[in-house]
Structure 1
Amino acid sequence: MNVSLILIILLIGALATYMVGDKFASKIALLFGLVSLGASILLLNHYNLGENIGLFTQWIAKPNISFALQADGLALAMLLLTTALTPIIIFSSFGTEVKNAKTFYALILFMAFAMAGTFLAADGLLYYIFWELALLPIYFIALVWGNGDAEERKKAVVKFFIYTLAGSLFMLIGFVYLYQKAGSLLIEDLYQLNLNGTEQIWLFAAFFLAYAIKIPIIPFHTWQASVYQKAPTVGTMLLSGIMLKMGLYSVIRWQLPIVPFAAKAHVTIMLVLGIAGVVYGSIVALKQKDLKKLLAYSSLAHVGLIAAGAYTLTTDGMSGAVLQMIAHGFVVVGLFFAAEIIFRRYDTRTIADMGGIRSQAPKFTSLFLILVLASVALPGTFNFVGEFTVLYSLSQVNMGFAIVGGTTIILGAYYMLKMFQSVMLGETNAKPFADVTANEGIVLVVIISVLFFFGLYPKPIVELIAPSIEEIVNQINRIK
């Protein structure tokens, strides 16, 4: 099966969505989102049958650049996350009136196209192009369809764009240097380079800046909360559910295997930064009065733990990081959608203005509670599998890191349950709160079903990513 089919479907979908006009844009976007998911599942089936799923063709003669796509288990896992969440995110917006819908939904599919390309690219320049393309649609989605004061929104979004673009330029410089050394940017050629210690340290820093901003890792996180708050909920879902995973995936796929000496030399620093994000995000989340910002800082805490898992340089750490990436993608989309449902009824995101929802909407309360418990890694949910594996890997490196990192569970349980109590219990708000509609219920039930299924049976994903993770760890360990 041609791996480029996924990209073609999403790109044609974006064009078709724009061409059909505002009336049918959402339905056409959903259709192409579902078709891309079906194609991803078909691609997975071919991979499981032992086929080598790749596309390699000469693209540019000078410099020597290939149009190279490769779908191994790790790339497939992230591709499936992207194509599964895209139709869910599109469908979740059906309860909201969207102006200029054809452009809005076309941008969503184009962003999915760019993110899928980032996960599949096996040439450094092609990867960089997809990486940057993903930034354009989210910039316009947040700027045009965002919330709050227009000037504040513009300031937050422009900061995010410039900050992210500037970090990526360091990565581009790194690729230029690597091309001079290898004469190619194919990932397999870059893996074979024997760079000296000084070269690796500089390249490690260049890649780290790009990825640390995108993830984000402390102290490069300052754009996150304001953009998550100002972006429309669909934009926030795309950012938190998929886009930040581009940075985490890239750490494992590109940074660590290319510069293994520098990776090993900076393990402690990277783990400290990741764990600091866990503690900082949790503490700041405790003080938030805006529901969306609370969830943004909660996400910061979780991705800090994921990053720490990746930087352990162990098989368990990287496997746990990938598992948690996928789990976090689903649960954070579910939580932001729950916040959107509340906003549709109350027209506020201030926690103090909410309350008493349980007595009016028992179905929504139950679904929201399950998402809250999943986010704090309740055993039986997908998040538990990922967090347990990451914490186990941290204990192998340093028990102190595991203990401090475990605060994400303790503090997370405290601020999430406190938030649930304030929002759903207590005195009833003066405004009526209708229970979930059929569309809203479908979105939440689908997400919860995924969280429980893989929480109880993570074997399919574990087996899918295991060969890729083992290959990457072996590549890192070639430097003793």
Structure 2
Amino acid sequence: MILTIILLYFLGAILTYLVGNKMASKVAFGFTALTFVAFMFLLAPANDVFISYDWIARPTIKFAFQLDGLSKVMLFLTTGLAPIIILTSLKTEIANAKAFYAFVLFMLGAMAGTFLAADGLLYYIFWELSLLPIFVIGLFWGNNKANDLKKVMLKFFSYTFASSLFMLASFIFLYNKAGSFLLSDLYAVSLNYSEQFWIFLGFFFAFAVKIPIIPFHTWQAKTYTLAPMVGTMLLSGIMLKMGLYSVIRWQIPIAPQAAESLADWVLILSIAGVVYGSVVALKQDNLKTFLAYSSLAHVGLIAAGAYSGTFDGISGAVLQMVAHGFVIIGLFYAVQIIEQRYKTILISELGGIRNWAPKFTSLFIILMVASVGLPGTFNFVGEFTILYGLATVNIWYAIFGGLSIIFGAYYMLKMFQYVMLGEAFEKPFADVSAYETIVFVLIIGALIYFGLYPKYISDVLEPAVTTIVNQINLVK
């Protein structure tokens, strides 16, 4: 059953391509919805699930997968957002739709594999497999009016692929020490501080680019801006979480002494991203670029929580990954609607939408306040838990990390003022349709439900985080 999620996505990719352009989006949506239903059955057993099959004898590589609380939460994010992302595109005409949606499903399968893999080399294979489809999606379905589209997508591919080679080198070294790539064996291997230091850095280069953490972020804003909206949603909603997840699953538990000694530097870089992303967001005129830098600020705080090495910091980081995934998809969908109505997403060319579309404005406000962590929304739960975890490390990290809330409120309200308020344009802005309302309600419903009752996800997550924290303390 644990392999069902991956297989459904890969099978869906094949069938989506075979049915042709006319039915591709509907078949893709059907498979993402079916995969979410299959995942809900995986939530039923309270116990962890581990499967392992012999794959390659030399070097010893296992076809091994693990389903625990952490991977369950990450699969909830992936399988829950996937049908919503497809829904946002059903009313959009996409050239060569069969190939487009096939790549989307293939990417989802690879990301699911990354969250489930319990063998280091298998994990690396899924990690790299997820890169190719999003590169192709951006290159062939991105903003072809931009002169630098090819350059931007090649930079994105080169950065992420090259940085992953450091992770591969780390896994090869670990294999020579442990004689295995299995996660449990890598947790048990004895490393001195010098070895941990280099392993930590090898992983850090790969994960810092994927998240991204400054100064490894230079690919992000342009890629988000020029990629098609579905691609941007996949990148911001799910793919960047692969790096954050990997910090918690692989990097810190394997090299906890190095993580502790380098914590100040990594936390400073992560929190610097909060300030940098917020300040640069204020200067943006393009709404997609604006949200890209806003996302950079938010994931900086999530990364700080993950690297804190504390139970609360790690738990808050995982909760915030899910919350950020839902809210950023909702905000990008709002931008897509604005672009469809007015054929522009430049803030300087917008204004007065509230006068034409009160329902859309109300939904936009809810997403906006959720983004800045208003109590009662899921983002508040994640941010508060992260800040509490950071405070146990150093109160100043919590104070500076908390600037994300202040800065976020300021740049979001300023953007809202220019885009939604003011005098109405002469050209009408059609209010949200019933279909668009359903998409927003799905997103906002999740943000409010888990904001008011996060216990369910917290209970699923707690045993896995406890195991990871115990592993960190044991190896220290």
TM-score normalized by the length of structure 2: 0.99
* Identity score, percent: 63
Paired residue type of 2:313: G
- Please say if residues 110 and 130 of structure 2, whose CA atoms lie closer than 8 Å, have aligned partners that are also in contact: yes
Please tell me the root mean square deviation across aligned C-alpha atoms, in Å. Answer: 0.8
1:76 aligned to which of 67, 72, 88: 72
1:151 aligns with 2:147: yes
1:33 matched to which residue of 2?
Answer: 32
2:345 aligned to which of 335, 342, 349: 349
1:93 aligns with 2:89: yes
**SS of alignment partner, residue 477 of structure 1:** helix
**SS of alignment partner, residue 303 of structure 2:** helix
1:340 aligns with 2:336: yes
1:54 positional shift: 2.4
2:129 matched to which residue of 1?
Answer: 133
Q: C-alpha separation between the residues in 1 aligned to 2:468 and 2:393?
A: 18
1:15 aligns with 2:11: no
1:103 matched to which residue of 2?
Answer: 99
**SS of alignment partner, residue 57 of structure 1:** strand
- Please say if residues 351 and 419 of structure 2, whose CA atoms lie closer than 8 Å, have aligned partners that are also in contact: yes
1:127 positional shift: 0.2
Paired residue type of 2:282: L
1:373 aligned to which of 357, 369, 372: 369
Measured against aligned partners, the alpha-carbon deviations of 1:400-446 in whole angstroms (never above 9, x if no partner) come to: 11111111000100000110111111022232211112221111110
**SS of alignment partner, residue 135 of structure 2:** helix
1:410 matched to which residue of 2?
Answer: 406
1:260 matched to which residue of 2?
Answer: 256
Paired residue type of 1:162: S
Matches within 5 A, 1:408-447: 408-447=404-443
- Please say if residues 355 and 423 of structure 2, whose CA atoms lie closer than 8 Å, have aligned partners that are also in contact: no
1:286 aligns with 2:285: no
1:220 aligns with 2:200: no
Measured against aligned partners, the alpha-carbon deviations of 1:273-317 in whole angstroms (never above 9, x if no partner) come to: 110000000010111111111100000000000000011110000
Measured against aligned partners, the alpha-carbon deviations of 1:87-123 in whole angstroms (never above 9, x if no partner) come to: 1000100121100000111111111000000000000
1:61 aligns with 2:57: yes
Q: 1:197 to 1:405 in 2, by over 3 A?
A: same
Q: C-alpha separation between the residues in 1 aligned to 2:349 and 2:252?
A: 46
1:316 aligned to which of 312, 315, 319: 312
TM-score normalized by the length of structure 1: 0.98
Paired residue type of 1:298: S
2:386 matched to which residue of 1?
Answer: 390
1:401 matched to which residue of 2?
Answer: 397
- Please say if residues 146 and 226 of structure 2, whose CA atoms lie closer than 8 Å, have aligned partners that are also in contact: no
Paired residue type of 1:388: F
- Please say if residues 4 and 55 of structure 1, whose CA atoms lie closer than 8 Å, have aligned partners that are also in contact: no
1:302 aligned to which of 282, 298, 305: 298
1:42 matched to which residue of 2?
Answer: 41
Which sections of structure 1, spanning at least 5 residues, go unmatched?
none
2:473 matched to which residue of 1?
Answer: 477
- Please say if residues 356 and 423 of structure 1, whose CA atoms lie closer than 8 Å, have aligned partners that are also in contact: yes
Measured against aligned partners, the alpha-carbon deviations of 1:326-377 in whole angstroms (never above 9, x if no partner) come to: 0000000000110000000011110011111111111111001100000000
Q: C-alpha separation between the residues in 2 aligned to 1:172 and 1:149?
A: 36
1:211 positional shift: 0.1
1:53 positional shift: 1.9
The alignment covers a number of residue pairs equal to 476
Q: C-alpha separation between the residues in 1 aligned to 2:243 and 2:165?
A: 14
1:244 positional shift: 0.1
Q: C-alpha separation between the residues in 2 aligned to 1:472 and 1:53?
A: 16
Matches within 5 A, 1:155-166: 155-166=151-162
1:174 aligns with 2:170: yes
Q: 1:38 to 1:234 in 2, by over 3 A?
A: same
Measured against aligned partners, the alpha-carbon deviations of 1:163-190 in whole angstroms (never above 9, x if no partner) come to: 0000000100111111111110000000
**SS of alignment partner, residue 62 of structure 2:** strand
Which sections of structure 2, spanning at least 5 residues, go unmatched?
none
Q: C-alpha separation between the residues in 2 aligned to 1:474 and 1:54?
A: 19
Question: Comparing 344-353 with 435-444, which one deviates more in the overlay?
Answer: 435-444
Paired residue type of 1:165: F
**SS of alignment partner, residue 69 of structure 1:** strand
Paired residue type of 1:329: G
**SS of alignment partner, residue 52 of structure 2:** strand
1:327 aligned to which of 323, 327, 344: 323
Q: C-alpha separation between the residues in 1 aligned to 2:289 and 2:267?
A: 25
- Please say if residues 54 and 70 of structure 1, whose CA atoms lie closer than 8 Å, have aligned partners that are also in contact: yes
- Please say if residues 353 and 419 of structure 2, whose CA atoms lie closer than 8 Å, have aligned partners that are also in contact: yes
1:241 matched to which residue of 2?
Answer: 237
Q: C-alpha separation between the residues in 2 aligned to 1:299 and 1:148?
A: 24
1:148 positional shift: 4.9
- Please say if residues 92 and 439 of structure 1, whose CA atoms lie closer than 8 Å, have aligned partners that are also in contact: no
1:149 positional shift: 2.9
**SS of alignment partner, residue 151 of structure 1:** coil
2:226 aligned to which of 226, 230, 246: 230
**SS of alignment partner, residue 281 of structure 1:** helix
